[in-house]
Amino acid sequence: MSVRELVVLGTGSQVPTRTRNHNGYLLRWDGEGLLFDPGEGTQRQMLFAGVAASSITRICLSHFHGDHCLGVPGVVQRLSLDGVRHPVVAHYPASGAEYFARLRHASVFHETAELVESPVTEPGEIARGAFGRLVARRLSHPVESFGYQLVEPDTRRMLPDQLAALGVCGPAVGQLQRDGFVEVGGRRVELSAASEPRRGQRFAFVMDTRLCDGVFELAEHADLLVIESTFLSADAALATEYGHLTAAQAGRVAAECGVRKLVLSHFSQRYPAPEAFRAEAAGSFGGEIVVASDISRIAVPSRRPYRAAAG
Ligand SMILES: [Zn+2]
């Protein structure tokens, strides 16, 4: 069985607290492991969470404030120490290339792992693979910040009973998938007769930002949305001033964008009781809300039925 889940490594903004490490999130998506915004201490949080460095295939940074990137040196060096054999791709805002260069070479180590830099220069598709499309959108923060969206295309699921009934077997199945039809015993069988639509899944990662178009574009129809909610509404003016969201705004985004599961994170250390974040988001979003805690696992919801919503 393929695994699709979010491993939460850290949930604190700005400074770690006794209960919250700096940010850090690993999205396990079949064979991919996308590490988002590894803040300071991420390497040790991975140990607690049972995540091996070898499970990382991509590193995606939203921006270069320390709580989103100070974990890069440890993680990068660990890749080599553990002898990771596959290349790891790093995405980050191109305007911060000098910071990434320093983080990557922060101290002396024997570099054997292959780290491929793929800086984000403008919004749009930044990678494509078996996982689907990885898309970046510009956010609104005092320094350049990008959010990320993983979009798996809709496909078709073959129906074994229908295939058997129609006499399609062996290499003819592949041909049917490839060409959209196949000739069997002098009859033409269409793909639609032996398969059904299969809804692709979507994941979105929205970190430090005010409300802006990019937030809504990223969150659109996300099965799982991880979004910052640094502040509560009482401090909405601070949120706007420093380029952040409130939990109420995050809930509104989720409601307007047809999100299925909402994960709130990146909490300011000023709030001791995280449940208030859930209550504010629930004011407008009726779906499932998770107030993220360190070292937790959040499943990507099961596939959306094909007719349930638009894509
Ligand atoms: Zn931050």
CB 38 within 8 A of CB 17: no
Region 185-194 average pLDDT: 93
Residues with CB under 5 A from ligand 1 (ion): 13, 67, 208
CA trace torsion 246, 249, 253, 255 (10° rounding): 120
What spacing in Å lies between the alpha carbon of 11 and ligand 1's midpoint?
A: 10
Is 105 annotated to bind a ligand? Reply is no
Closest among 63, 61, 33, 60 to 49, alpha carbons compared = 33
Q: What is the pLDDT of residues 97-151, one digit of tens each?
A: 999 999 999 999 999 999 999 999 999 999 999 999 999 999 999 999 999 999 9
Range of lowest pLDDT (65-74, 272-281, 284-293): 272-281
What spacing in Å lies between the alpha carbon of 137 and ligand 1's midpoint?
A: 17
Catalytic residue among 30, 37, 67, 154, which? 67
Whole-angstrom distance, CA of residue 63 vs CA of residue 37: 8
Angle, vertex CA 144, rays to CA 253 and CA 290, nearest 5: 35
* Contacts (Cβ under 8 Å, ≥6 apart) of 160: none
Region 154-172 average pLDDT: 93
Instruction: Name the average pLDDT for the chain.
Output: 95
State the sign of the Cα–Cα–Cα–Cα dihedral 232, 236, 238, 243.
positive
| Residue 310: predicted pLDDT | 45
What spacing in Å lies between the alpha carbon of 213 and ligand 1's midpoint?
A: 19
Say what the pTM is. Answer: 0.92
